[in-house]
Structures are given as structure tokens and as C-alpha cells.
Amino acid sequence: MKYSNFIIFFVLLGLGILLKNSINLSTNLLSLFANKEAIHKLGIADKLGYSKEMLVAVKGFDDNSKQKVKSLVEQFKKLDNIKNVQSNFLPSKEILTYYKTHYPFLADFNNTKLSDYDIKLKVKELYDSLFSNVFYTPIDKNDPLKLFHLNGDINKDDFIKLGSYGYLIKITTDIAPSQMGEAKSLYNRVDEIVGYDENIVAFAPFFYTVENSQKIKSDVRYIVFISALILLLIYYLLLKNIKLLVHTLVALGSSMIFAILVSSMILESLHVIALAFGMTITAVSIDYLLHYYFHDFYMSEKKVDKNVMFGFLTTALAFSIFAFIPVTIISQISLFCVLSLLFAYLLFTFIFPYLEIKEYHCEIKEIESKKTIPSYIFIISSLLLLTYSFSTIKIDNNLRNLDYQNAKLQAKEKLFKDSMKNSLIPILVEADSKEKLISNLHKIQDKYKDSFSLANFVLSDEKCKQRERNLKEYDFKSLKKLINIEALELGFKKNYFKNSYDFVESSICKVEDFKIFENYNLYFYEEDSHFYSLAYVSDLNLIKEFNFTQSLSIKDIFAEVSKEIFSSLLIYSSFVVLSILLLMFFVVKNRFVYALNYILFPISLTLAVVGCFYELNIMHIFALVILVAIGIDFGIYMSNSKQISTTTLAIKYSLLSTFGAFGVLIFSSVVALNSIGFVVSVGIVAIYILIRVMK
Amino acid sequence: MIKYLISSFLLISSLSANSFYFSEERYSDAIGRSIEFKGEITFLENSLEINYTDINKSLKYSDDTLVYTQDEKIIELDSSQSKNIIEYFKVLILLHSDDDSKLHFLFEIQTEDSTTVLIPKTYIKEFIKKIELKKDIKELKDIKLFLKNGDTIGIKIEDEIQ
């Protein structure tokens, strides 16, 4: 039995190695917060080319810049995962052919009936213009009377300009920000091309995936290293027992592996932030060991220690309730914690007694004399602090602020956004048929002329039929006949206008292949008998009246989601607090107010400090709940303890280890983790004050 | 070579003398005849001015704006007409500008004896089949645009205006 701790560890480690390919780790921050519907819509938008555009800017407008653009275009075209590279507004061959075949439908048509006299007069004007016009004006033999007129200039050959910065290259990739492997590979190749040229700036949404994921991973490695170092130091200094230290570390390792394996079986993918956070939280379970060790539980005949058991149950209860919250990050962390704490509790309680651990020898100094402040003072102080907090605190509901703040990439993104002040914002448009989708796109375009979508190229069924009627009603045959007679009389070459207006006959309205519009980032996508496309508009507020549109702005989605998260957190936190209070009342009975301070005071002090320096985000709230779970353990231990000095010492050491596990998150540059570290660190200070001075 | 030809053609770029007498012969395929105009052409940096002195009409293009004047009165041009003239002027400015890189970017360049032929590579090929440049001793004196619709425009640079 004395090797059982190692056996369990190696069995779990073996299982971990065996099943490592089925452990799916994710680094996509959005998937942690956004609800399934929003993620689904963003997934569709990804398929429609949203977020797949890469922008490259070359500083300056001189020849050198033009040469660079030319060279970059050639290099980018050779890369995998690149669908289109555009450095000017020149339409593709396919688009030009499309314009030719659909011209009578796409151009404005002046269908005013012309009399014979009008026609003769116009042909005469055309003839005279050849001699009187000082500037060369070509004659359009297909439409000599200019009945058709196409708005806008499709033949723009100039380099695309990015405001006053320089030239712009627009690149369409087939990489969505969630495709980590491909994103990293393309990111590296783009980096090789762009190199260290300060005058070239490249940006794509998937750069965040690559850079932030690398930063988060290295941040997590750094935190885990610091945490491990602090914990090792504390454990060694506290326990002064190498054997126990080794067994403790092995037990913590087993608990983490157990939690990883089971949560991987339950969850589709485990987020790296949830994993890192869950692993550090596991270290809190050393509280159980410290309590057992200092109270000589392993030397006693007792099977369970009620204080530790109730402490564990309250913590497990809190996390179990949170495991069901419809907010992925919180539910993942909670699930991981329930599993790892359960396993650690079982090991420390039922396996460690067989490890032949020696009795704890240490002189404990009496410190009770310093406890001078009655518990009701803390209750009053807490209520005052809470009142202050509620009057000052501001809520930050922008979930993007929780991510790693990649200032360098944000500056690049800002450069493009600021320089493209008139740029249009993409929205998702849907309908239950292709025709209806085009009709919906036209509804947007009819109202907002500056919008850009397939409606710029494709007519709705209704408009097609209307134009077909107009064209049929117009007598092009007679018109052509008269033009040719008059032209010959005036001196035009014979049969010069013999094919005039023939293009009307051969034109079509129907679009056979929508792929030709992909160069403009305009796609169709069908899923479950629903049709989707993107439209680009100048103002998101304008499209709110259309119920077939959806904003794709991450900010909007996050704002919507954060409302749901805050309300979920409120409901679930109420459940957790209520359950904990009930359990605590049942366990500590007449010392309820005393124990309650271990929840109320840390929370009120933390909220007041957060209110002074930060805006309250959802990770602050989640960390407050963890603080409740930790505080209640100590409240129970302190209220029920018969050896108060030993318990105080155990709690002090627990606080140190809690700081080693959680508090170190304050050093993280990922705001989500930093927020937790901040709350727990302030909470630790509050609990320390309580154990030192509250009587 | 082409750089030398073009820069010597209108020479113009680095010298202060930028104005020339010129004659323009337009062949219209629609009527199978040519029409001739005479005037003065002035090149400035990124701008161009043509004066048809006989008929007192002028066209000035600068800063992406075209101004048409007749008898010193500005006459409004419709947008498509204006656009066509601007495109044509841009080609002339490019030929004068000595922008070797852009010329190579826009044209395939063939040189044979005293004639240089520019074949459009980009969208210009929708309108222009080719451009012929001819030199006389040192200076290029003749430019001829062959348009897609069968029309041609020939410009003969004559004496420099002193």
C-alpha cells in the first residue's frame, strides 16, 4: 500500500500518454464565451469569406512602393491557402464577360420612345461630332444613341490606395481564424515575405489566432513555472518532509491528469486557459493535506475529518453548480476543478494514511492574544464596503478585453481601420431560398445606395422580369433599320451600324455561376435549406430594421453574449451562495456570523478595490465566487476548530499556497487570468486580516 | 533603350521648354476618313494642356480634373466623355513621364529600327490595340494609337515653342 500513490500516478500517466491524441486543446477565445448560435453564424460567415481577408500595406506612393507591390503580389500568389490577390480595381476576365452578356440588364435603360425625326437628328449629331469635337470621342456602334448607361467605372487600373499611408494589397485566403495549423503555416510564410521591411505592414484576423495563442501559451508556461516554484518552496519550507513533499506533488499530478482525461472525454475540446486555470486551482487541494498533517490526522484512527470533508463538499458544490452554467470558460474550469479536487481529496483522505507519513513536529506559538476586533465590526465594515462598491463600480462587458492585449497587432489593425475610414462593414444576410436572398439584398441596397453586395451585380427576379418587359416592348429592329439608312445617307460607312442593339437579343438576366463574384468577397452559402451571403454596409444601426440580417461585429456579439453571461452568472452565483450559506449554517450553527465574515469581508474588500482601479469583468465575478468557496473552507475550519493555533497556522500556509496557485495569475498578461489573480490576491489579504484580528 | 527614346521623345520632362506645336490626325473607321487638327501641347508634371488655337478651344487636365474651354468659357462635359478623355490623356502623360517601371508594367515593349511598339498588357487593351512611337534622328516625333474600334490617332510633334 505504501507505493499506491505512485502506482495511481503511473497508471494515470500511462493512460494520458495512450490517449494523448484524443485530448483536444483549443486556443480560440471566442469559443469560450460566445453562445452556440453566435458561433454558428460566425462559422457561416467564415465560409462566406468573412475574416479571411489579409491586408498588406506598402508605405509611400513612389515608384519604389509600386515595385514592392508588384513583387509582393507575385510572391503572395505562389502561396498555398491564397485564393485571390488584388492590388488594383481591374475586374477579372469573367466579370468583364459577365458585364457584356448582362449589359442590358445591369445598365440603366432609357426606354423613352424616339420618333423618326429624333432618331435622324441624333445620328446627324453623331456624324457632326466627328468633325466638331476637338477631343476624340469613340462611336459606340453597338449603342450609337446611348440608350444604355452603366453607372460607375468598372475599369479602374490604379493601384489601390490606403488613405494617405501608401498602396494596399487585398488578399483573400481560405483560412478562418479558428484553423490554427493552416493559420500558423501561412503566418510564417507571410512573415518571411514581408520580413523586416518597416515600410510593409500585414494584417489578417488569423494573425491574432497565431500570435495570441503563442503569447497565451508562453504566458501560461511562465505562470505555471512561477506557480510551481513558489509552491515547491512553500511546501518544502512548510512540510520539511521530502517524502511527504514528493507524495504531495505526485498526488497533485495524478489529480490533474485525472481531470484532464475525464474532462476530455466529456468535452469536445478543452480550452488552454481552462486547463491552466484548472491546474493551478488543483494546487489549492493542498489545504486538505495541510489540515490533515497539522492536526495529525494520518496518525489518528479517524477515517474522515468532518471539517475537511465539509470544506471539500462546499467547494465541490460551488464548482458543480457552475459546471452547468452556459458560459463555456466557467463551465470548463468548474468541471476540471470538481474532478481534480475530488481526486485530490480522495487521495489525501484515503491513500495518504497508508503512506507511512511521520508525525508533524513543530512548536506552534500562541497568537490568539492579538485577536481583538469582534466579528460584528467586520460585518458592518463589509456592508459599508459593499455599499461603496455598488455606488462606484462600473461593468466592463467587452469580452474582448479579457483576451491577451496584443498591442502590436492592435496597432496594425488600427492603421488599416483608420486609413479606410469609409470602409464598409460586413453583415450576414439570410433567406430560405436563393431568389429571396437576392431580393433581401436588394431591399438593403434600395434603401442604402452605398451598400455593396451581390445586389450590385445580380438583379432580383422581380427586377429581371420588369427589365425583360421593357426590352421586349422597345422596337430595336425599327430603330436599327432607321439608324442604318440615315447613317449611310450622311456618309457613314455602309453597314457600320448593322449589328447595333443586337446585344439586347443575346443578353441574359439569369446568373449561371456565382463564383465569378468571389473576387469581390461575395459568396453564396447553403446550409439546411437556408441561404446566406454577406452584404457590406456603412452603418450597422441602419440595418436593424431588416430582420433577415445579423451583425458580425465581434464587439456586438460579445456585448450581446456578455449580457447573457452576466445574467447566467447572477442566477448561478445566487444558487451557489445560497447552497453554501445553507451548508455553512448546518455545519457551524451558532458561529454562523463569525464564519460568514470569511465570505462577506473578502468579497466586499475585493469589490471596493476593484471598483477603485478597474471595471468589473466577468472573470472578476467568477473569481469572487472562487473566493467564496475558499473562504467558506476557512470559515468552517476556524469556527469548528478546537486547536485554534494549529488551524490558524494551517490556514496561513493554505493562504500562501493559494497565492502560489491563484495569486500568481496576477502576473499574467492575459486579462482573464490577471483578473482572477487580482481578486484572489486581495481576498487572501482580507482572509489574513480576519485570522489575525477577528475574535 | 525605350527609356531613352521616350525621354528624348518629348524631352520635355527635365527641361523648361515643355510646349510644342503639334498636328493630330484622327482616322475614323465609322466614316473611313481622317480629320486633322492643329494646336499646341504643353506637358507639366502630372498634367497636360492642349490648345486648338485655330478654333479657340482648349483642354486642360490636372489633379484628376479635366477642364474644357471654348472662347475662354468653361464648358461642362458629361462624365463618360470626360472619363474617356482623361484615360487618353493619362496615356499621353505616361508616355511623357519617363516612368519606365509603369510602362513595362502596362505594356509589352518591342523595338524595331526606329519604331517602338507598345502592346497593352492591362485593361488598356480593352480600348487600345497598340501604340507606335517613331524617332527622327535623336528625338521621337511621332506617336500613333491604334484603337480597338478601328480608329487611329496620330500625333506629330513639330517645333518647340520658344
Q: Is A137 on the interface with B (CB under 8 A)?
A: yes
> What pLDDT sits at residue B2?
42
Q: How far is the C-alpha of A596 from the C-alpha of A576, rounded, in Å?
A: 14
**For residues A27 and A209, is the Cβ–Cβ distance under 8 A?**
yes
Chain A nearest-CA distance from B39, in A, is 10
Residues from chain B that touch A137, judged by Cβ atoms under 8 A, are 81, 84
Average pLDDT estimate for A473-496: 91
Question: In this predicted structure, what is the pLDDT of residue B110?
Answer: 86
Rounded to 5 degrees, what are φ and ψ at A527?
Answer: -150, 130
Nearest CA in chain A to B70: A134
Contact A600, A548 (CB under 8 A): no
Task: Give the strand pairing for A166-173 and A53-59.
Answer: antiparallel
3-state secondary structure B12-39: HHHCCCCEEEEEEEEEECCCCEEEEEEE
Task: Provide CB contacts within 8 A for A523, sequence distance 6+.
Answer: A47, A48, A49, A514, A517, A533, A534
- Asked if A141's CB is within 8 angstroms of B30's CB, the reply is yes
Higher pLDDT, A643 or A407: A407
Contact call for B37 and A134, based on CB within 8 A: yes
Over the stretch A595-624, which tens digit does the pLDDT of each residue have? 888 888 999 999 999 988 888 887 888 788
pLDDT of residue A483: 93
Taking residues A580-584, report their average pLDDT.
Answer: 81
Is B113 a member of any domain?
A: yes
Confidence category of residue A120, pLDDT binned at 50, 70, 90: very high
* End-to-end Cα distance, chain B: 28
pLDDT value at residue A34: 66
**pLDDT value at residue B3:** 43
Across B73-83, average pLDDT: 77
A276–chain B nearest CA distance, Å? 54
Put simply, whether A93 touches B (Cβ < 8 Å) is no
Counting Cα atoms < 13 Å in the Cβ hemisphere of A546 gives 26
A352 touches A298 (CB < 8 A): yes
Q: Is residue B28 part of a domain?
A: no
Would you say A23 and A32 are in contact if contact means Cβ atoms under 8 Å apart? no
The rounded Cα A53 to chain-centroid distance in angstroms is 17
Taking CA atoms, what residue in A is nearest to B28? A130
**Averaged over A331-359, what is the pLDDT?**
88
Residue B105, chain A, CB below 8 Å: the answer is: yes
Average pLDDT of the segment spanning B50-55: 84
When divided into structural domains, chain B yields a total of 1
Domain membership flag for residue B30: no
The answer, for A152 touching chain B at a CB cutoff of 8 Å, is no
What is the overall mean pLDDT for chain A? 83
- The answer for A314, left when phi > 0, alpha when psi is -120 to 50, beta otherwise, is alpha
Residue A565 has pLDDT above 70, yes or no: yes
**Which residue out of A90, A135, A159 would a mutagenesis test of the B interface target, given it has the greatest number of B Cβ atoms within 10 Å?**
A135
Q: Please report which confidence band the pLDDT of residue A20 belongs to, taking 50, 70 and 90 as the band edges.
A: confident
What is the pLDDT at residue B14? Answer: 38
pLDDT band at A29 (very low <50, low <70, confident <90, very high): low
Instruction: For residue B29, tell me if it sits in a domain.
Output: no
Instruction: Report in angstroms the alpha-carbon separations of A559 from A293, A566, A618, A689.
Output: 48, 11, 12, 38
Identify the band that residue A365 occupies on the pLDDT scale cut at 50, 70 and 90.
low
Residue B146 domain-assigned?
yes
Domain range for residue B120? 2-21+37-157
pLDDT tens string B35-47: 888 888 887 777 8
**Distance (Å, rounded) from C-alpha A512 to C-alpha A516?**
10
Banded pLDDT at B11 (limits 50, 70, 90):
very low
- ipTM for the complex? 0.79
Helix, strand, coil share (%) of chain B residues, nearest 5: 25, 50, 25
d(CA A96, CA A90): 10
Q: Is B75 in CB contact (< 8 Å) with chain A?
A: no
pLDDT tens sequence across A78-104: 888 888 888 877 777 888 888 888 899
